[in-house]
Structure 1
């Protein structure tokens, strides 16, 4: 898979980044106002604009810039709260980048993976000793898959935990190849941890494209007809957490009997709407474990948040194709 994403631009270096014009002006206005971030947040909320203290801190430091429509609306209110001329902050922001289903459709093709060049993936496959992984007949069937994607307070992707069940079509099956595309390459690769019944073998990373390929070696080989369950996690450092462009999905090159996708949001940053989406048909994506960012045409269905600040969607006998959830604030 992967991806998740926030709608605000982010830098993730430990060292302080040079402030943008927006961040410099905001920091100066906050200092002049004499208000704490907590008091600014309270005054914003009283005017109907919900912005976390974390987001305000990121905005004034330059780690993140408001880009979602709701964030831009909040900046207008922020100008009132700070008693500065209308438009003095908004005029310093660059045009927002295209995002959402329409932008994903414009990028998707039937010959390329959804978030990175096919050549980049092929180079990593060769490094881990699996140059023919995309074309060869696989003797390991993915029976069931459960992804839990955790979204942090700043809207970035905190972690993904995956539980997969396989059935062997031949004797001696002992590994599965994970392909993961980070939605925000500048954030660096996530930390891969194996949690149950497997360990990491050969692994390679392409920093430029945010791409990771890793062997997940089973604790024991399984023979024809046997099943095997593994669990692993991909964790990102933060805050700020890597952008996920308000979506998380899997791209399947072969059918899966059952795919369960859960998105769990921070209680302080709840989206206003969520949808599941799917696109059927063959796609030259990042293998059964590839994670990408949408496809075309899309079937969409609105989802309802549960009491645990999350949503879920289930795909049965699905693939090839892309299945995911996206949301807006």
Structure 2
């Protein structure tokens, strides 16, 4: 079982919106009450803005917003600059500390992920041998020209068995893995540097040669994601039992089941989610 990060841990590793939400929950304050207390200190923040901040839809970046975050730290009784530090951090909040140093120049905050479509192919041996991913991203700054695909492996997966194949509008750059943390990072280079606000569509395939029965597929959501589509295609010789959707946030001890799925005539199931702000979205199944 994965241990859910405490508020103290979230204040160290992020992401910002999860740490803010956990701090608000611990203090037992409603967003309206928090807005009123901010107003008492001459800090005006709309209720919708507070909601966007804690859901990860918007990050406070303006001087006025950062001032509000500093006051929030006082009201929520968290250490000074603990929330602000998460906003200043340029690395991948919420990931193991080792990840930013695995590839020099690693920065996961300069791209906004608008849409992600994963097609998972489970073979006759019950193994998810490949995942075809299409992504739509938008540059937050000028000059962004790459995406970092990262994978967290459990003890049943050999990190050396994971291979990345660029398919469209990208090419493979550097790749590295950290055996102790069970992390693999692949750098996918775009065909050109993007301008701020420019969107880019690209596709890649992850191949996994590990011959272990697969029972789930999920992807992490660090910030707000407008659209997420996961499809799982099963070989006719290996049909699943009880496929269902699950969601999980950092604060939750266990994932919670949301939707039961039924394979269609192509032996496939899918889940489409919009306005995603939870940290994990996935499909899980069993074998007879």
Q: TM-score, normalised by structure 2?
A: 0.63
Rounded to whole Å, the distance in 2 between the matches of 1:187 and 1:204 is: 10
3-state SS in 1 of match to 2:101: helix
Q: 1:188 to 1:202 in 2, by over 3 A?
A: closer
Rounded to whole Å, the distance in 2 between the matches of 1:277 and 1:208 is: 28
Higher relative CO (Cα under 8 Å, sequence separation at least 6) belongs to: 1
- Structure 2 counterpart of 1:177: 148
Rounded to whole Å, the distance in 1 between the matches of 2:224 and 2:253 is: 17
| Deviation by residue 1:201-247 (Cα, 9 ceiling, x = unmatched) | 22211235542112211111111221101111111236xx2343x01
User: Does structure 1 conserve the Cα–Cα contact (< 8 Å) formed by 2:102 and 2:177?
Assistant: no
- Structure 2 counterpart of 1:308: 266
Please state how far the C-alpha of 1:172 moved relative to its aligned partner: 1.4
| Deviation by residue 1:182-201 (Cα, 9 ceiling, x = unmatched) | 34234733111111111122
1:195-274 pair list within 5 angstroms:
195-237=167-209, 241-244=211-214, 246-274=215-243
- Structure 1 counterpart of 2:2: 107
Aligned length: 202
Q: Choose which of 129, 132, 136 in structure 1 pairs with 2:104.
A: 129
Q: From the CA coordinates, give the structure whose radius of gyration is larger.
A: 1
Please state how far the C-alpha of 1:300 moved relative to its aligned partner: 2.0
Rounded to whole Å, the distance in 1 between the matches of 2:276 and 2:204 is: 22
| Deviation by residue 1:23-48 (Cα, 9 ceiling, x = unmatched) | xxxxxxxxxxxxxxxxxxxxxxxxxx
Rounded to whole Å, the distance in 2 between the matches of 1:297 and 1:255 is: 19
Rounded to whole Å, the distance in 2 between the matches of 1:164 and 1:295 is: 29
1:73-84 pair list within 5 angstroms:
none
Q: 1:300 to 1:229 in 2, by over 3 A?
A: same
Segments of structure 2 that go 5 or more residues without pairing to the other structure are: 14-92
Q: TM-score, normalised by structure 1?
A: 0.56
| Deviation by residue 1:269-310 (Cα, 9 ceiling, x = unmatched) | 101221011124x57xxxxxxxxxx96351421011111111
Q: 1:211 to 1:243 in 2, by over 3 A?
A: farther
Rounded to whole Å, the distance in 1 between the matches of 2:99 and 2:112 is: 23
Rounded to whole Å, the distance in 2 between the matches of 1:300 and 1:190 is: 30
Q: 1:216 to 1:325 in 2, by over 3 A?
A: same
User: Does structure 1 conserve the Cα–Cα contact (< 8 Å) formed by 2:247 and 2:278?
Assistant: no
Please state how far the C-alpha of 1:178 moved relative to its aligned partner: 1.3
- Structure 1 counterpart of 2:279: 321
Q: Choose which of 254, 264, 267 in structure 2 pairs with 1:296.
A: 254
Q: Choose which of 115, 135, 138 in structure 2 pairs with 1:167.
A: 138
Please state how far the C-alpha of 1:157 moved relative to its aligned partner: 1.7
User: Does structure 1 conserve the Cα–Cα contact (< 8 Å) formed by 2:159 and 2:179?
Assistant: no
Q: Choose which of 114, 130, 145 in structure 2 pairs with 1:143.
A: 114
Segments of structure 1 that go 5 or more residues without pairing to the other structure are: 1-105, 284-293
